[in-house]
Structure 1
């Protein structure tokens, strides 16, 4: 017979698998819903009395692994944002420093409109 505690652990395990799949596949839009479900299950588990250590080892391992995947995804997003900012800055013009350390801006004379070529 499956206990209520084991049922919650199994449901949390399933959510963690879905979360891992979403992270690996770059489906970050799915994470919010999964987070809500995960939080609800964890809250229910926290209300229960005690657990055997081996029951939660697998869950802990998956949570740790998913956290590492999430941190990597965030690093990637930050790198893309920084690169996009660099490209915007280049389109605006060029900033240079003279011998005296004074900054001079040279605006880009080109139109910032996208040019379509055949």
Structure 2
């Protein structure tokens, strides 16, 4: 937990924790972390999809891959690996959003 606070302090969020710190603060910190995970997941997914689109539609790569067959193998391997990364990022995305929804429901049920 201390490492997270040091990381946030390096980004300019100076956080001081003591005995009087409200539990709402920790809930907000958890949501900040999960929202950052969601933001990076969406960013990674969009970059992966754009790069796959560029690999598949670029005519220069098609001409070079016909002259050099090993380039075609590298492109196929790279696009298959990318699909695995996209699925992993989607799991992170839906897991983080699902956990945030679950936490909100638990908070609402507890305080109602």
TM-score after normalising by structure 2 = 0.41
Decide which structure has the larger Cα Rg and report it. Answer: 1
Higher-strand-fraction structure? 1
Question: Greater helix share, 1 or 2?
Answer: 2
